[in-house]
């Protein structure tokens, strides 16, 4: 039996690789739909990028629903300095021939959750958590039907990447993240502590490029683009590939290990706004609310990614 999932995302090259990985695993995952959110680039672009990605994978049957154009509070924060003006710089894919199914991501989430048995659907969040926070606010009964949420966001030992204290997805909508971490939903978290172990070394990039199908050619273009920024930042071992960790966890959870701990989100302090305060050492009595991953078998992750992307077959 396959596991039904919805991917909530702000593509972003690493988001797009995560979508490709999910669509490369139809024996394990059924992607019921993709909801988009403003994040790496504005909503209009993240939606176009999601459309381009499902077209690339030959999966135009997967509906795309546009969601929140900005955070619950304040102005949208974007990351063109990492992902380029389009969010998918590095390979010029054609303008999509298909269109978004709706601009009501929250309505789609509600309808889909109500159409499936309670506990059936897993939500994979790869961007700011605005859409999920809106679902929790507007349709709490539908949200309670989720099996679980697996999300990329936050950091503890690695602290921050968009500010010294905060990881991008949480910083882009801290109020939404706070709502999600207080929701009581079953949460699994891939923080920077994990994704910074998933470095795209030369050997791993060569293995990806050697797959030799169109999807891997495009991914090769994408990763070569965004790593120019991360290499300056993180050094010569390669740039981290963040969001595919969420899908890899669903496919091979044994690659990851972590702790069930308390996570709170800082929303007040101007200095540390968006910080994920993770009680890794369990030094408080605060109730654990998330399974936070701390380590990953990086070679195993890249072996999985290459093996699955090879399923696309076809020529260049
Ligand atoms: C996260 O922020 C975005 O830039 C990436 O797509 C990833 O989801 C990493 O901090
Ligand atoms: Ca993302």
pLDDT by residue for the chain (316 residues), tens digit each? 899 999 999 999 999 999 999 999 999 999 999 999 999 999 999 999 999 999 999 999 999 999 999 999 999 999 999 899 999 999 999 999 999 999 999 999 999 999 999 999 999 999 999 999 999 999 999 999 999 999 999 999 999 999 999 999 999 999 999 999 999 999 999 999 999 999 999 999 999 999 999 999 999 999 999 877 777 777 768 889 999 999 999 999 999 999 999 999 999 999 999 999 999 999 999 999 999 999 999 999 999 999 999 999 766 6
* Gap between the Cα atoms of 268 and 173, Å rounded: 12
User: Is 315 a domain residue?
Assistant: no
Q: Which residue, by CA, sits nearest to atom 2 of ligand 1?
A: 168
Q: What DSSP string describes 7-59?
A: EEE---HHHHHHHHHHHT-TTTEEEEEEEE-SSSS-HHHHHHHHHHHHHHTT-
22 in any annotated domain = yes
> Any idea what the CATH number is for the domain that residue 194 is in?
3.90.245.10
**pTM above the 0.95 mark?**
yes
Tokens of 140: 């709490």
Helix, strand or coil, per DSSP, at residue 260: strand
Cα 127 to middle of ligand 1, angstroms: 7
User: Residue 316 domain-assigned?
Assistant: no
What's the total number of domains in the chain? 1
Which atom from ligand 1 is nearest to the alpha carbon of 167? Answer: 10
Residue 191: which domain range?
3-309
Q: Which residues contact 159 (CB under 8 A, 6 or more apart)?
A: 165, 192, 275
User: Is the CB of residue 34 less than 8 Å from the CB of residue 54?
Assistant: yes
Residue 176 lies in a domain: yes
User: What is the distance in A from the centroid of ligand 2 to the CA of 297?
Assistant: 21
Residue 189 lies in a domain: yes
Q: Is residue 314 one of the residues assigned to a domain?
A: no
Q: Is 279 in the pocket of ligand 1 (CB under 6 A)?
A: no
The reply to whether 242 belongs to the active site is yes
In a domain, 200, yes or no: yes
Nearest CA to ligand 1 atom 10: 168
The SS3 assignment for 235 reads: coil
């Amino acid at each position: 039996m396959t596991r039904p999932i919805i991917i909530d995302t702000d593509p972003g090259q690493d988001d797009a690789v995560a979508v490709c990985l999910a669509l490369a695993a139809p024996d394990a995952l059924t992607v019921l739909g993709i909801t988009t959110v403003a994040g790496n680039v504005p909503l209009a672009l993240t939606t176009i990028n999601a459309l381009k990605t499902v077209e690339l994978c030959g999966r135009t049957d997967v509906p795309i629903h546009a969601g929140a154009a900005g955070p619950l509070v304040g102005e949208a924060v974007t990351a063109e300095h990492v992902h380029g003006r389009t969010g998918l710089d590095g390979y010029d894919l054609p303008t999509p021939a298909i269109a978004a199914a709706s601009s009501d991501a929250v309505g789609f989430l509600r309808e889909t959750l109500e159409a499936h048995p309670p506990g059936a659907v897993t939500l994979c969040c790869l961007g700011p958590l605005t859409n999920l926070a809106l679902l929790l606010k507007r349709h709490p009964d539908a949200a309670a039907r989720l099996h679980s949420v697996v999300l990329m966001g936050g950091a503890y030992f690695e602290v921050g990447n968009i500010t010294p204290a905060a990881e991008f997805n949480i910083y882009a909508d801290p109020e939404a993240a706070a709502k999600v971490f207080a929701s009581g939903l079953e949460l699994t978290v891939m923080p920077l502590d994990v994704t910074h172990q998933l470095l795209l070394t030369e050997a791993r990039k060569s293995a990806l490029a050697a797959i030799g199908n169109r999807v891997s050619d495009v991914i090769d273009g994408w990763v070569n683009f965004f790593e120019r920024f991360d290499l300056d930042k993180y050094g010569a071992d390669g740039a981290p590939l963040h969001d595919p960790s969420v899908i890899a966890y669903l496919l091979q959870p044994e690659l990851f290990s972590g702790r069930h701990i308390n996570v709170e989100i800082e929303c007040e302090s101007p200095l540390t706004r968006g910080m994920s305060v993770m009680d890794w050492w369990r030094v408080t009595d605060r109730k654990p609310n998330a399974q936070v991953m701390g380590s990953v078998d990086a070679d195993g992750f890249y072996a999985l990614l290459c093996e699955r992307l090879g399923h696309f077959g076809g020529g260049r």
